[in-house]
Amino acid sequence: MKNKIIEHLIVGLGIGFVVTTASLWAFGLYEATGMAVMLQFTTWLAASALYGLISMIYDSDIPFPLTFAIHFTGCAVITFIASAVSGIMEFMQWYEWFIYVLPVFVGIYIIIGIVVTITTKWQEKQINKKMNKGR
């Protein structure tokens, strides 16, 4: 169990590092002060670790639609909290998060979901090839 938790943390951090770095560049946060950038970076990497942990739900026996709903909602809540902690919401009302941040979150969520699905399918094919060779 401990190894599984560490594995999910590392995967979450790995994906989060790429997304955080790309987002900082895309949204012009490179113009901010060093301290503001470090707050953003640290907040989103911590959120990424939590995304990785919440992904452990996919290892459970819960039916996929419920698992997906819990994962999506949990990730959205983590994103909302990280948005508040990182200062993104300083310049907007809380409900504007649904207009400006949520669509970006959904887009990133879909892209990561597609990449993870393609990678998993490819890994399954490789495992099946190796298993069929052994017969």
Chain segment 38-62, per-residue pLDDT in tens: 788 888 889 999 999 999 999 999 9
| Greater pLDDT, 126 or 92 | 126
Q: Sign (positive/negative) of CA torsion 57, 50, 12, 72?
A: positive
Chain segment 62-71, per-residue pLDDT in tens: 999 999 999 9
Q: Sign (positive/negative) of CA torsion 86, 96, 78, 122?
A: negative
Minimum mean pLDDT range among 16-25, 29-38, 61-70, 105-114? 29-38
pTM of the model: 0.76
